[in-house]
Chain A
Amino acid sequence: MQTNKYLLSLILITGLLFGATSCEDFVERHPRDSIADEEALTSLEGVESALTGLYDRLSAGTYNQREMNLAGELLADQMDIAESNAGRMIAHPTNEEGAGFDLWTRLYDDINRANMILHHVDEIEDAPGQEVNQIKGETYAFRGHLYFDLLRVYARPYMYQEPLVAGEPLGVIYKTEPFVGIDERTFEERGTIEEGYNLVLDDLYRALDYLEGDEGFPYGFNEVSVKANLARVYLYMGNWSEAADYAEEVIATADVELVDAEDGIDYIERVFASTPGEESILEVGFADEAEAPFMNTCVAGMATYYDEEVFEDKGIEMPHIQTDYEAYGDVILRQDLINLLREYENKGDVRGMENQTWYQRDKGGQMCAFQVKYHSHEGVPNWDDYILIRLTEMYFIAAEAHAEMGDIPAAKDLLMTVREHRGIGDEEIEANNTEDFIDLLLTEKRVEFFSEMSHRWFDLRRRGMDIPKGVEDDDAGTPLDFEDYRVVERIPEAEISANENCVQNPGY
C-alpha cells in the first residue's frame, strides 16, 4: 500500500512536468524586443515604423555629425586637430591613407532598409493610397539622398570622371532590391558614375511624383527638401540651369527666410540653436534630450578647442563665454580660417568670431574655451539638431550656377542678398568675371558653412581644385593635388575581401 502511495505521487509529479508542454512548442522561443521578419512589414504601421527607424539613422552622431560635419573639414583646409588630442581623427588633417569618411557600411545598411520598405509597401492590402504614396515618396527621396552621399565620397566627381587609370569611370554598387539571401546579386560590381547620378535623379523625381506639399517641413523629406537636393545634385553635375532653377524655386517657395542681421541679433541662436533652425530646409531633430545620441556633441567633436593662452598670445580677446560644456575638444579651426572669420567680423559680419558661441571647460586643471557652432537646444548638453540643408546654400548654388552661365549680375545679386542678411551688405563685390566671382564665392562659403556638411571639401573636389593644406605645420604645407588618389575615398577592405567583383579605387 505504502509503495503504491509513493509510486503514485511520483507518477503524478512527473506527468505534470511533462504534460504542461508540447515538444515543438517547448523549443520554439521568441525574443521580446523584436518581431519576426515575416510580421514586421506586413502592415502600414509596420512600414511606417520602419521608415521612422530609417530617419533615426540620420541622427546618428557618426553620420551627419562626425563624418559629414567634421571629416571633410579636416580633410580640407578648414580644421585641424588640437595639440591635446585623445587620438580621434588625428590622421585626417594630413589626409593619410585610410583617414577619411567612414560611410560605406552605414549608407548601404540604410539603402537596404529603404529597399525593404519599397519592396513591402506595395504588398500591404487595403492601405490608403495617399499614405502609401507618402511613404514611397519619402523613401525614394531618402534613397536618392543616400546614394548621392555615397557617390560624392567613393567615386570621382561627376565633372571630372576620368579615372586615374584606364577603364570605366566607376561609381558605386547600385542596389534597388533588399538582400534576402546569398545569390549572385550579393556580389555585385560597381556601376558607372553616370548610372549613379541617374539613379539619384530618378529617385528624387520619383519622390516628387509621390510627395505633395511640405509635410513635416523641415524635418524629413518633402517636396521642398527634394527640390533642394535636386539643386545640389545638378550643381555637382555642372547642370547649371537646372541647378539655378531648382535653387531659385526653393528660395521662392520654402517657408523660411534668411535671418536678417540687425543690431544685437543672436545669429547662431536663430539659425542653429532654435528648433527648427530659422533657415533650415532639411533638419534632423530630436523630440527631447533623451533621443539625442549620447554625448553627441563631444563624440562628434563639434566642439572646437582653443587654449586661453593662445588667445592672449594672438591678441584675440576672449569672446563671451558660456557655462561649462561637455566636449572632448579634439578639433580646432585652422588659423587661416580664424583669420578669415576675424576679417569678416571686422567688417561687421554676424558670422565673425565675436558672434560664435564659446564655452569654457576645465580640462584637467587647464581652462579651455570651446567654440560650438551648433550649441545645445535650450542649453541642454548634446541636444542639438543637425541641419543638412539650409536656405543660404540655395543662394550659393544659384549664384554659382548663374556665374557659370555668364550672368555675373544675377550671381552678384544673390550673393549680395546673403551679405545683406549677414550685416555686410554695404561692401561691393569686386569680381567681374566668372573665375573671380567663383573664387570669392568659395571663400565666402568657407565662412558661411564651416563645420557644416563638409561643404568645403566637396566644393573643391567637384570643381577639380587642389586642396590647400595648412599654413603653419611644415609637414602638411603642400596642397593635396586634385589628382591624388586620396581625393576619392578608399572602399572598406571588408567589402573588397567579401566581394571579389568590387574593384577598389585606384591607388589603394
Chain B
Amino acid sequence: MILFSVTKKFHPMERKIFTLLLLIIFSFSTAIAQITVTGTVTSAEDEEPIPGVTVTVAGTEIGTVTDVDGSYSIEVPDEDAILEFTFVGKQAEEVIVGDQRTIDIEMEPDVVGLDEVVVTGYGVQRRRDLTGSVSSVRSSELEGMPVESVQRAIQGRAAGVQVTAADGVPGGDVSVIVRGMGSIDGANRPIWIVDGVEVETGRLGYRSPSESILASLDFEDIESIDILKDAAATAIYGARGARGVVVVETKRGEAAEETDFSLDLRRGITEPLGMSPMMDGPQWAQWHYELYENRYGADHPTTQMVVNDIGAERGWYEVGPDGRPDFTTTPHYNWQEEAFRTGNVYEARLEARGGDERTRFYTSLSHNMTEGHVINYDFARSSFRMNLDHQAHERLSFDAQVSANLTDQSSTRLGGAFSSPIVAGADIPPVEPIYTHQAEEAGVAHIGRDQDGYFNAPRSVYGSIPSHYLYSAKHDHNLVRNLKTILNLSATYNLTENLTFRSTFGIDYNHTDEEQWYDPRASDGMGDDGVLRDYEHTAYAIQTTQTLTFNQIFGDVHEIDGVAGFETWERIRRETSVRGVNFPNPQMNVINAAASVEWWAGNEWEMATMGAFSRLNYTYDDRYLLTLTGRYDASSRFGAENRWGFFPAAAIGWRISDEAFMAGVDQVDNLMVRLSYGTAGSDAADTYAALGLWSGGVSFMGDPGIYPSQLPNLYLTWEESRTLNLAINLGAFDGRMHMDLELFNRWTEELLLDRPLPHSTGWTTMTENVGETLNQGIELSLNTVNIERENFRWTTDFNFTVVENEILSLLPGEEFFDDRTKVGRAIDDRNIPIYAGVNPADGRPMYYDKDNNITYNPVYEDRDWRGPEQPTRYGGITNEFHLGDFSASIFFQYSGGNRRFMNMGRYHFCWPATANQYERVFTDRWQEPGDVTEVPKPMSANVYPGAVRDPSEYSTALFERVDYIRLKEVSFSYRIPQTFTQRYGLEDMRLFLRGGNLLTWTDYSEADPELTGDDFGTYPQGRTITFGISTDF
C-alpha cells in the first residue's frame, strides 16, 4: 500500500505504531451484500418535501442527499444499518433499516440542536455521541453580526472560549483563547482549521497598530465553528492541539431545482464607545498654574515666568492686576474630539447555492467597507468563495473549496505618539488653538496650511518636536493590504461499505503588503524630506492529509468507528522590506522616487510538521462510549534528539438515561457523564529555536562578518498539556432544555521558556523546556426553549466560564522569574506598587509598604501581586423571541476578574508636564487639608516633600479591575409577508436592525473595559447601529 512506502523511512518504533494503526483499520473492513432503501423526506410542519437532506448510514461515509422531490435512494450494507437524516434547522432522525425497503421520514424542526453534527478533527460526530469537549457556533448565530471578523462574531457565544482584543481597530487583531492561557512565553492561541486546512491566523506585518489575517474571512460563509477544547478532542492534532483547535466548515451547495440566490445589503454607523474624559481649557490652565504655585508660591520668579512668559504669552489666559491668571479668560480647544468622527459601514453580499444530485455548489461574493470612527482608520474587505462537491462515481467524490479574500486597512502609525489622533488628541493642552488664523501676518509659528486654515504648532507635549496630528493625518498614510487564499481539493473513495479513503491537498497562501508614508510636510517625515517604508510578506502553507475512515456494527450493540491518517504540513515565509528617504515631491511617494534608500532587509523561514494519527470510537448499546486517540508527530522546530512526540488521549462516556433504571424518568431525554484524559502539544517556539546559529548581515569596513545569534539546544521539545475533563450533559423536557457542565484541569509542562542566563555568559536567555502551569475551570452552557406556542417562541442560550491559571513551577529552585511571573500566581500577573491614595493632611500621594503601612517612597520589596490581566470569568446570555414574522434577540456579555494597566494614565494622571490630564485629575485633586481623594495636590515635577514616588509612575493607581456587563447586541428582524414579496418574484425578504455595544455597566474609569493589554492610544470599540435587508430569490 501507499502508506507503507512512507513508513520505510520511519524509525522502527514509528513503523510499528503505523502498522498497528493500519491493522486496526483493515481488521474491521469486510465486504457485505447490499440492500437498497428508498423513500421521501417531508417537513412535519407543512408536509412539503425537503430537498437536500443528507442521508447517511451511521458511522460510515455512505451517504446521499434527497432530490427536489425530497426522495432518495441509498444502498446499505445490511439490515442492522442505521439511516441518519440530517438537515439544517431540523432535528436529525435515525431509523434502523431492518426489513424495511421504503423509509419515509417527517422531519421535526430543530429545537436546540441536540442532535446536530459536530465537526471534530478529521471527521464528524453527533453531538450526543461526543466524548470530548467541543463548543459550537452555528451559521444561524453568525448571520448579519455587526462585527467584521469571525473572532468577534463568536465572542460570548461559546463556553470556555474567551475572545478579547487589545483595541477596536477595524480589521484588527482579536485573540481567541481556549480555556485560558497555559504557556508563559509561547503561544496561547488555538490553531484554526478551515475546511480541513490549517490556516495562518496572526499577522505577518509590523506597521499596523492591529491587524489580523483572519479578519479577511467572510464569516457569513461559515456553516459551523467547532472549538475543540479537551485532549480527547484535540490530541488528534497532536503537536499543535494543546491550545485548542478551532474547526471551521464553510457552507456547501444543496441540490435544488433552481439555484437559490440571496442578496444582503447592510448599512451601519458607529460611534466611539467613549473617550477618556480630559480637562477642558480653563481646568487645564488652572491645574498647570497650580503645579507652580503649589511648588514655588505665587510670587516666585519661576511661577511668574510661567504665568507671564508662557501662559499669557501663548494666550492661555489674561493676567489680572494681582499678577494671577484669570482662568475665565481661558479658551478651550477640543483636540480630542477632532480625532473622532462618525464611522460608516457598508456591506453587500451575494450568495448562490444549488446544483443537482451529482454536482453541488456554493458561491459567494461580498464587499465590506468600514470607515472607522477615528480619523484615518478605514477598512475594506472583498471576499470570494466557491465550494464544489461532485459525485464522480458511486464510490468516488471530489470536493473543492476555493476562497480569495482581500483586505485593505488604513491607520496611523504604530505606537506613534505625536501623530496618533488618539494619543495626540488626548495629550495636547486644550488651551492651544487647533488652527491659527492669519498666522503668517501675525508671525505665529504654524505647521502648515490648507483650506481649513493654518495648523497651529501646539506647545510641545513631552518636550519634543511639536506636531499636529490632524495635519499629519492629512498627509501621512499607513496601509496594510492582505490577500488570503485558501485552496483545498479532496477526493473521497469508498473502498468498501465500511472503509473510506480520503485525500486532501490544501494551500493557505497569505500575502501582506505594507506601506508607511511620512509626508515631508508633516512632522514625522520632515527631517528626512519624506520617509517611505515598504514591506512585502508572504507566508504559504501546503498541507496533505490522507485518511481512512471505517465503521462496523456487531450484533446490534457494538458499534465501532474511527479514522487513521497521515498528514504533512510545511510553511514557508518570506519577507523583504525597504526604507527610502528624501523625496522630491510629496506626490512622488514610491521607492523609485526616493533619492536614497537607507535600509533594506530580506529573509526566509521554513518549518514543517508531519504526523500519523488515529481515533477509535467504540459504543456499546449506545450506553457506554469509549474513544481512543493518538498522534505521532514531528516538528522541524525542535532539536534532532527530541523531534518526535506521541500524544495519546482516552475518553469514556456513560449514557445514564438509556439505562433501565431511568426508564421511568420521562422528562430526561439524554443524560450522559463523560470523562477524558490525554495530552496534546504545542510547538510554539521560534522557527529555528533548537539550532545553534551564526548569522550574517554585519560588516566592518566593508568586510562581511558573522555573529553568534542563537545558542543550540538539541533537546528542545514540545510544550505538553495534559487535560482531565469531567462533563455532564443533560437534555430534558422533550428537547426544550439542554445543559452541559464541564470541569477541567489542564497541566502544561515542559514550558518553552526563555530561561534568563547571567549576562556574563555573553547571552541573555536560552530557550528551555522548564516549568509547569495549571488551568482549572468550570464551564456551563444552558439552552432552553422557554415558550413554544404556535406563533411565539422564546429561547435562551446561556454560557458561563470560570477559568483560573497558576504557575506551579519555573526553573528548578526558582520561585520568581520577573515582575509578571511567579510560582503560585497567574501567568499574566503583575508585581506592582500599591497606591494608597492621598494624605488628607498635605495632598501627598501615599503607597502601602509590604507590612501594609503607609509609605511615600515604596521600595521594590513593597510591591504586591495584582492581576491577572486576562479575564478569569466570562459568559454570555442570548434571548431570542420569534413572533410571527417578527423576531428579536438580546445578547448580554460579561467578563471580569482581571485588571488592566492604563498606560495612557502615565501621561494623564498627574504627569507633571505639558500634556493634558484626565478630568478627574482636576475635579478630584487635593485642595485643602481634610480632602480625601485619590488625586494628589498638583505639584511641578512632582517634588513633594520626602522623595515621594511620582503618582504618574507604574502603580495600582493606574491598574484597575475591569469587570463589566455589556449589552452587546440587540437585533430585530421582520420578514415581509410572502404574499407581498412573491408579487415581485422574490422568495423571501427580511429587514433587520441591529445595535452593537449598546450599554455597559462597569466601574472601570477608562473608555472601554472590554479591551485587554496596556491601554496606550487604544482605538476604542464602536457603538454600532446597522440596518440591513436580506433578499432570497
Where the two chains meet, the residues of A that have a C-beta atom closer than 8 Å to any C-beta of B are 2-3, 6-7, 10-11, 13-15, 17-19, 21-24, 26-38, 40-41, 46, 49-59, 83-87, 104-105, 108-113, 115-116, 172-173, 175, 178-179, 181-182, 186-188, 219, 285-288, 290-291, 294, 326, 363-366, 492, 494-495, 497-499, 502
Contacts and interface: CB of A to CB of B under 8 A. Distances in A.
B699 A10 contact: no
A361 B466 CA distance: 14
B698 A56 contact: yes
Contacts of A33: 603-604, 695-697
Contacts of A113: 707-708, 762
A29 B688 contact: yes
A364 B465 contact: yes
A143 B708 CA distance: 17
Nearest to A32: B604
A32 B766 CA distance: 21
Given A23-B9, A104-B759, A112-B763, A31 B544 contact: no
Nearest to B763: A179
Contacts of A179: 711, 757, 761-763
B762 A111 contact: yes
Given A26-B608, A285-B701, A109 B6 contact: no
B700 A55 contact: yes
**Closest A-B pairs by Cβ, 6 of them:** A112-B762, A37-B692, A287-B702, A53-B705, A52-B705, A499-B758
Contacts of B3: 18
Contact of B760 (A84, A173, A182): A173
Interface stretch (B353-361, B372-380, B388-396): B388-396
B757 A36 contact: no
Given A18-B2, A38-B692, A364-B466, A3 B395 contact: yes
A186 B762 CA distance: 10
B493 interface: yes
B295 to A, nearest CB: 13
Nearest to B766: A182
A23 B604 contact: no
A52 B694 contact: no
B439 to A, nearest CB: 11
A36 B693 CA distance: 5
A37 B691 contact: yes
B862 to A, nearest CB: 17
B700 A17 contact: no
Nearest to B943: A475
Nearest to B813: A500
Contact of A497 (B395, B544, B756, B762): B756
Contacts of B643: 27
B703 interface: yes
16 contacts: A3-B395, A13-B491, A14-B546, A17-B544, A18-B6, A29-B606, A53-B707, A113-B708, A179-B757, A179-B761, A182-B766, A188-B758, A291-B701, A364-B445, A365-B445, A492-B759
Contacts of B528: 326
A499 B708 CA distance: 22
Given A10-B493, A178-B762, A29 B705 contact: no
Nearest to A114: B762
Contacts of A56: 698-700, 705, 707
B700 A10 contact: no
B609 A3 contact: no
B464 to A, nearest CB: 4
A33 to B, nearest CB: 5
A52 B757 contact: no
Of A10, A18, A85, A364, most B-chain CB atoms within 10 Å = A364
B664 interface: no
Contacts of B10: 23
Interface string B582-612: 0000000000000000110001111111100
Given A10-B503, A27-B608, A291-B702, A498 B696 contact: no
Interface in B697-731: 697-712
B570 interface: yes
Given A6-B392, A219-B701, A29 B464 contact: no
A38 B714 CA distance: 12
B694 to A, nearest CB: 4
A27 B635 contact: yes
A26 B527 CA distance: 49
Given A15-B5, A108-B759, A29 B636 contact: yes
B457 A365 contact: yes
Nearest to A287: B702
B568 interface: yes
A36 B760 contact: no
A35 B704 CA distance: 14
Contacts of B463: 83-87
A54 B702 CA distance: 14
Contacts of A83: 463
B706 A46 contact: yes
A108 B761 CA distance: 7
Contacts of A498: 756-759
Of A22, A27, A56, most B-chain CB atoms within 10 Å = A27
A497 B467 CA distance: 42
B795 interface: no
Contact of A15 (B2, B570, B695, B711): B2
A6 B393 contact: yes
B700 A326 contact: no
Given A19-B5, A36-B691, A186 B757 contact: yes
B464 A86 contact: yes
Given A17-B505, A33-B695, A34-B693, A494 B764 contact: yes
A287 B756 contact: no
B2 A11 contact: yes
Given A56-B700, A365-B457, A497-B756, A31 B691 contact: yes
A35 B694 contact: yes
A502 B2 CA distance: 60
Nearest to A39: B694
B670 interface: no
B485 to A, nearest CB: 20
A175 B760 contact: yes
Nearest to A15: B2
Contacts of B217: none
Contacts of B710: 34
A372 to B, nearest CB: 16
Contact of A291 (B640, B699, B757): B699
Given A37-B692, A173-B760, A499-B758, A26 B610 contact: yes
Contacts of B460: 84, 364
A53 B759 contact: no
Contacts of B598: 290, 294
A10 to B, nearest CB: 6
B761 A31 contact: no
A55 to B, nearest CB: 4
Contacts of B697: 33
B608 A29 contact: yes
A105 B757 CA distance: 11
Contacts of A29: 606-608, 636, 687-688
A50 B610 CA distance: 36
Contacts of B640: 28
Interface string B448-480: 000000000100101111110000000000000
A59 B710 CA distance: 21
A364 B447 CA distance: 8
A15 to B, nearest CB: 5
B410 interface: no
Contacts of B760: 104, 108, 172-173, 175, 188, 495, 499, 502
Nearest to A290: B598
Contacts of B698: 52-53, 56
Given A6-B393, A36-B691, A86-B463, A13 B756 contact: no
A55 B709 contact: no
B457 A37 contact: no
B9 A294 contact: no
Contact of B708 (A3, A30, A116): A116
